[in-house]
Amino acid sequence: MSQPLQIADDGAVRRITIDRPDKLNALDAATLDALNAAFEAAAADPAVRCVVLTGAGPKAFVAGADIAQMHALSPVEGRDFSLRGQRLMRRIETMPKPVIAMINGYALGGGLELAMACHLRIAADGAKLGQPEINLGLIPGFGGTQRLLRLAGRAAVLELCLLGAPVDAARALQLGIVNRVVAAAELEAETMQLAAQLAQAAPLALRGVLDCVHVGGECGLEEGLQYETAQFGLMFSTQDMREGTAAFLERRKPAFAGK
């Protein structure tokens, strides 16, 4: 059986490519499990400071979950498939290192849910994004209703999930679903340049930002502010904070060690 992923490192940037182009990189159970293991390994590897996630081939980031596999599932198996996908999305969302979705084509259904679990999303100008599950007699099952609601708001999530029609990259940018839209020919270079920039930033500060945003998105303002203050104070115990402030005062580029 062929492996569903390609994994390669470019310095401190790990690139994970879903490699099922004949299936438009659809997410079956084996691919979900492989992705979960790949992100677990990236989180644990101190040499990795940023992760880029994309799909193989010119057509799709991920065109959705594997419909052929889902067609035969029982209600209990369907619930378990949803939990399998949500476990992966949660792992990505709570990664201690930034994850960039490089959206090179269709990001539909589970593909959009996968992209929304990433911290940043860069889309090619020809990409299409949507939650078309309604057309299959389904609803999103990997967190689509909840993350889309938080990213784009009630009106957008109801439009995409009730109508089931994809939006183009420009509209996705307008809605706040993606962070940037670039020409397809420039997508890889733009994404890897951003990843390299993040890989050079202070790792503990990056993690602090990710943790604060994650916690703040799930609690009230006062609790979020208290958490931010605690994390801010912890930064003063790090070598990176001393290095960063010293570099600023000495007008030189900092060399962060993640300590």
Given a contact cutoff of 8 angstroms between Cβ atoms, the answer to whether 108 and 63 are in contact is yes
Planar angle of CA 93, 217, 172, nearest 5 degrees: 65
- β 128-130/106-108 pair status: parallel
Closest CA to 161 of 109, 86, 105, 84: 109
Burial readout 64-87 (b: 16 or more C-beta within 10 A, e: otherwise) = bbbeebbeeeeeeeeeebbebbbe
Catalytic residue among 40, 77, 133, 222: 133
Helices (H) and strands (E) in the chain, counts: 11, 10
Check if 222 is active-site.
no
Catalytic residue among 93, 113, 159, 218: 113
Tokens, residue 133 = 């599950």
Neighbours of 207 (CB within 10 A): 16
Closest CA to 57 of 26, 32, 36, 34: 26
Given a contact cutoff of 8 angstroms between Cβ atoms, the answer to whether 113 and 140 are in contact is yes
Instruction: Tell me which amino acid residue 19 is.
Output: D
Neighbours of 11 (CB within 10 A): 14
Sequence-separated (6 or more) residues with CB below 8 Å from residue 77: none
Check if 218 is active-site.
no
Q: Show which residues are catalytic.
A: 113, 133
